[in-house]
């Protein structure tokens, strides 16, 4: 196993200061520098097994690193997040030996950026509603459809595309996943989206117009793999997202404490006011609880004890908590917290997305509540 301690130190001391504009700029300059430094540090493959050129971190180690990423800017993590997370893990866990040999070393080195192409205009948190379709044509597959909000799409070299290959049945969602190189004829990427926050994290629509791929592009060599691969990768990713949220909230808290100690109203530090202290106390409690929950969920995932309820609980609590802490941070800063270039203003906008992607808070509640209910029903 790799040791994440060196990487966490380098993220804070070396990488983050080198790309200060990444969180609120859409230009290529900060991204190019961030990509170069990230690749040098091995961050494009920290969760890829060592046999394929990665660091081989398990989820318990992953979340420690993710909290550091969250403390900087979420746009920084997005550059290599899909390689290690939802896209890369599909190949790690479900790819054939030949598919792993063809792609994983290039993904781990940063030579190839991989994108997870699941979300569509009419299918977000519920993949069962996919409309993108793939049909056999001789020894090939032909893909038609559209994907939306696809992270790293403008710079991706490989798309992991989820498509319906057959009608859904009670125990068969009918979804397969394909490896589609970005230069495949018929594949086109729209302009990167203009978003509320995380401007440096590039997302875009992806269009598939009779995109033809060989049968060897079918992940796992089976149509049955797709839905299971999506759910498995998303569950792991939810713990990672929860850790990012903890890192963001910790940064917002630290900025609030520093501001409360250094700034005055009427000649008195604002931290002397009990209502300000109450906001700091609530923020600290939320961050501490979230950190403990993330570490517990990561341990349960790695051991196999819980790969469904705990990831959803961690994501639900931590992303909602980060939103509350960010809001309190702006309140502590007063009008200053509403100004651009102030860290808590950026954090306030950035963390809002955490409650939406990789399963909304509402979906997490359904997963948790439904799982608990069904488990109890089986005892009756």
Q: Considering only CA atoms, which of 184, 247, 195 is closest in space to residue 357? A: 195
- Residue 189 has which token pair? 């990427």
Q: Residues near 173 by Cβ (< 8 Å), separated by ≥ 6?
A: 127, 128, 226, 227
Catalytic residue among 33, 358, 362, 376: 358
Clarify whether 223 is annotated catalytic.
no
Q: Which of 261, 287, 304, 293 is nearest to 347 (CA)?
A: 287
- How many helices (H) and strands (E) the chain has is answered by 12, 9
Distance of alpha carbon 93 from alpha carbon 175, whole angstroms? 17
d(CA 158, CA 87): 9
What three-state secondary structure class fits 152? coil
Task: Return d(Cα 218, Cα 96) in angstroms, integer.
Answer: 9
- DSSP single-letter state for residue 45: G
Q: Rounded distance, CA 222 to CA 327, Å?
A: 46
Which amino acids are annotated catalytic? 358
């Amino acid at each position: 196993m790799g040791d994440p301690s060196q990487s966490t130190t380098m993220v804070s001391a070396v990488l983050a200061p080198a790309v200060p504009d990444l969180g609120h700029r859409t230009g290529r300059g900060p991204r190019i520098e961030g990509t170069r430094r990230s690749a040098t540090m091995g961050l494009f493959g920290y969760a890829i097994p060592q046999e394929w050129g990665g660091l081989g971190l398990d989820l318990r180690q992953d979340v420690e690193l993710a909290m550091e990423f969250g403390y900087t800017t979420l746009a920084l993590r997005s550059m290599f997040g899909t390689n290690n997370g939802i896209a890369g893990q599909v190949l790690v866990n479900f790819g054939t030996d030949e598919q792993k040999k063809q792609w994983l070393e290039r993904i781990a080195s940063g030579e190839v950026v991989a994108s997870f192409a699941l979300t569509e205009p009419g299918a977000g948190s519920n993949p069962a509603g996919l409309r993108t379709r793939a049909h056999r044509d001789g020894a090939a597959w032909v893909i038609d459809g559209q994907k939306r909000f696809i992270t790293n799409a403008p710079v991706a070299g490989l798309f992991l595309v989820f498509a319906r290959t057959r009608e859904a049945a009670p125990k068969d969602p009918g979804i397969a996943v394909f490896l589609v190189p970005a230069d495949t004829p018929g594949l086109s990427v729209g302009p990167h989206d203009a978003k509320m926050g995380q401007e440096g994290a590039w997302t875009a629509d992806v269009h598939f117009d009779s995109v033809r791929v060989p049968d060897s592009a079918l992940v796992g060599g089976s149509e049955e793999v797709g839905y299971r691969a999506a759910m498995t990768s998303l569950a792991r990713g939810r713990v990672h997202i929860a850790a990012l949220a903890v890192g963001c909230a910790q940064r917002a808290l630290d900025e609030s404490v520093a501001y409360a100690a250094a700034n005055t109203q009427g000649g008195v530090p604002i931290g002397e006011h009990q209502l300000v202290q109450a906001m700091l106390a609530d923020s600290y409690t939320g961050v501490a609880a979230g950190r403990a929950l993330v570490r517990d969920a990561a341990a349960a995932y790695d051991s196999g004890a819980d790969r469904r309820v705990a990831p959803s609980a961690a994501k639900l609590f931590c992303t909602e908590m980060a939103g509350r802490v960010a809001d309190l941070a702006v309140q502590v800063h007063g009008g200053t917290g509403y100004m651009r270039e102030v860290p808590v203003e950026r954090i306030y906008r950035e963390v809002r997305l955490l409650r939406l992607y990789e399963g909304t808070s509402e979906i997490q509640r359904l997963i948790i509540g439904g799982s608990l209910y069904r488990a109890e029903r089986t005892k009756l």
